[in-house]
């Protein structure tokens, strides 16, 4: 039970009785970080000995025990789980001195300890080795005679909040964060902490790719809301409305994902200087420095620490413009638009894409390529040849290859800028034929695979497709999963993948 003040400690004493074990959430191991209050009068001195309530304190009911037991449980990549023999640990000066394997306990307690350990491990996911420590209480045998389970006779001991604890916590998949937050307020604050929890996830290479979709209900509203793809306990997927802390938006199209953040700029129907950033780890929104000129934003792309915002404005005549936002310095700068592209063409944003650190723009029958390193524009004629899509709104780039879902021919087509050749991705005929009647589709780079989102009648589906490049340049796709993720008559404006 967590305690935050002396009144809370007194309530715990009334609930559990005395003696009362008080523990610190930090550096509580090998007998350290613990204090025993034998009466209500001793609570204050026990709290002081632990450094005060600011250290994060909680209490445990005092339980005289016969033996301290431990179980190691391991789970493989295939999901198989193995529990090792229950052992007894004998401590000297609060440090483990002897381990007796197997533990000399009746079979029923051996089984109970194993069951408790497996249930604890089931709450976590991943291929791991996990240790659970338990106490066999003095009255455990008597209670077991009354019930076949006697769950109160075994108590899981606490974990210290040190580097090892944070490392373990950081490996918990994001889909389990809601459950983890329910354990205590402190756990909830940890999983929402960019500086501690998410920084450790990044160091351990435990970040996950998460899909965000901007949708609107065609029947009821023109406002767009973000939805997050979540994985259910049975392994299937669903779209869940993002927390209410994220404001509704009129212009999610002019957005781009960079790491764990989504950057949104300007508007797509009205000129504005608005810009803000949404942190997908904590779902908080912060304003960004305003765009130097009010503009209608049509395309946003990220290259090497900078975000390129392309659109048009109405100052001194209507013309196209490109602004660049430096994420590190938080400053704006102007970039050059090719002279023949200065005249606005309001549909061209549908054919803009970032590939191999270059911006490709299809404009009035030609494809222009912008190289930020050289601040130079070129013309790409090969991209405009056979099979060039009229729009790349439902296209994505994976490993610097442009992938385009062509709903008219039921194919996924790929363009490699090095080969300068369009080809069909093989192995997906069955899936793509089934979605030939889809109302819309979008694709996005999903951690090196491709995610395909589409709507058929009143159902939205999502599929993950892995890609393999063979000799000769041929590309094969494999459907890893395909799930119905949301029901409703929804329109789509943006499909992004963030790393959290």
Which range, 108-112, 265-269, 462-466, is most confident?
462-466
Give residue 101's pLDDT band: very low, low, confident or very high (50, 70, 90).
Answer: confident
Band of pLDDT at residue 143, cut at 50, 70 and 90 = very low
The Cβ of residue 147 has, within 10 Å, a number of other Cβ atoms equal to 10
pLDDT reported for residue 483: 94
The Cα 357–Cα 355 span in angstroms is 5
Give pLDDT tens digits for 150-200: 333 444 444 444 566 677 777 777 767 767 776 667 777 777 666 666 677
Separation of alpha carbons 279 and 453, rounded Å: 23
Question: Which domains can be identified in the chain, with CATH numbers?
Answer: 1-62 (3.30.1490.20), 209-499 (2.120.10.80)
pLDDT above 90 covers a percentage of the chain that reads: 17
Give yes or no for a contact between 160 and 27, defined as CB atoms under 8 angstroms apart: yes
Is pTM beyond 0.85? Reply is: no
Q: How many CB atoms sit inside 10 A of residue 330's CB?
A: 10
C-alpha to C-alpha distances, 189 to 1, 177, 350, nearest whole angstrom: 17, 11, 41
Q: Please give the angle made by the CA atoms of 119, 123 and 128, to the nearest 5 degrees.
A: 95
**pLDDT score at 293:** 84
Strand order in the sheet with 225-231: 237-241, 225-231, 209-217, 490-499
Q: What pLDDT was estimated at residue 427? A: 93
207 or 267: which leads in pLDDT: 207
> What pLDDT, on a 0 to 100 scale, did the predictor assign at position 96?
80
pLDDT in tens, 368-379: 888 998 888 887
Q: Which of 361, 340, 364 is nearest to 352 (CA)?
A: 361
CA separation for the pair 371, 453 (Å, rounded):
30
Q: Which residue has the higher pLDDT, 251 or 424?
A: 424
Question: pLDDT digits over 388-434, tens only?
Answer: 555 555 688 999 898 988 877 888 989 888 887 888 999 998 898 88
Q: At residue 239, does pLDDT exceed 60?
A: yes
Arithmetic mean of pLDDT, 348-357: 73
How remote is the C-alpha of 395 from its chain's centroid? 23
Q: What is the DSSP string of 167-223?
A: HHHHTS-GGGHHHHHTT-HHHHHHHT-IIIIIHHHHHTT---EEEEEEEEETTT-S-
């Amino acid at each position: 039970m967590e305690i935050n003040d002396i009144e809370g400690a007194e309530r715990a004493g009334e609930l559990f009785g005395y003696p009362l074990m008080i523990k610190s959430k930090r550096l509580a191991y090998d007998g350290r970080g613990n204090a025993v209050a034998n009466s209500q009068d001793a609570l204050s001195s026990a709290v002081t000995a632990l450094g005060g309530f600011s250290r994060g304190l909680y209490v445990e009911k005092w339980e005289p025990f016969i033996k301290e037991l431990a179980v190691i449980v391991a789970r493989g990549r295939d999901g198989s789980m193995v529990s090792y023999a229950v052992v007894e640990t004998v401590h000297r000066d609060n440090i483990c001195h002897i381990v007796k394997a197997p533990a000399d306990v009746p079979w029923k307690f051996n089984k109970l300890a194993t069951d408790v350990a497996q249930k604890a491990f089931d709450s976590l996911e991943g291929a791991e080795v996990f240790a659970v420590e338990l106490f066999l209480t003095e009255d455990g045998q008597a209670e077991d005679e009354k019930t076949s389970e006697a769950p109160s006779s075994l108590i899981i001991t606490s974990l210290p909040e040190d580097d090892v604890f944070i490392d373990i916590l950081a490996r918990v998949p994001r889909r389990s964060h809601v459950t983890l937050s329910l354990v205590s307020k402190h756990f909830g604050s940890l999983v929402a902490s960019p500086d501690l929890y998410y920084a450790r996830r990044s160091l351990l290479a435990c970040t996950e790719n998460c899909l965000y979709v901007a949708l609107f209900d065609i029947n009821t509203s023109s406002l767009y809301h973000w939805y997050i793809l979540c994985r259910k306990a049975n392994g299937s997927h669903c779209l869940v409305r993002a927390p209410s802390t994220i404001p509704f938006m009129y212009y999610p199209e002019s957005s781009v994902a960079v790491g764990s953040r989504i950057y949104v700029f300007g508007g797509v129907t009205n000129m504005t200087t608005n810009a803000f950033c949404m942190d997908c780890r904590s779902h908080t929104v912060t304003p960004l420095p305003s765009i130097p000129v009010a503009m209608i934003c049509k395309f946003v792309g990220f290259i090497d620490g900078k975000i390129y915002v392309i659109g048009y404005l109405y100052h001194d005549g209507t013309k196209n413009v490109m602004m660049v936002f430096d994420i590190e310095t938080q400053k704006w700068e102007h970039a050059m638009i090719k002279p023949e592209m200065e005249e606005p063409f309001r549909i061209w944003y549908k054919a803009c894409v970032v590939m191999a650190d270059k911006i490709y723009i299809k404009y009035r029958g030609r494809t222009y390529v912008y190289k930020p390193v050289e601040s130079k524009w070129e013309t790409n004629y090969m991209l405009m040849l056979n099979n060039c899509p009229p729009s790349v709104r439902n296209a994505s780039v994976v490993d610097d290859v442009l992938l385009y879902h062509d709903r008219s021919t039921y194919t996924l087509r790929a363009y490699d800028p090095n080969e300068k050749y369009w080809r069909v991705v093989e192995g997906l005929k069955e899936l793509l034929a089934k979605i030939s009647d889809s109302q819309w589709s979008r694709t996005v780079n999903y951690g090196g695979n491709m995610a395909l989102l589409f709507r058929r009648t009143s159902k939205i589906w999502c599929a993950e497709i892995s890609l393999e490049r063979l000799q000769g340049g041929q590309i094969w796709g494999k459907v890893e999963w395909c799930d119905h993720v949301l029901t409703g008559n929804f329109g789509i404006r943006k499909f992004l993948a963030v790393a959290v």
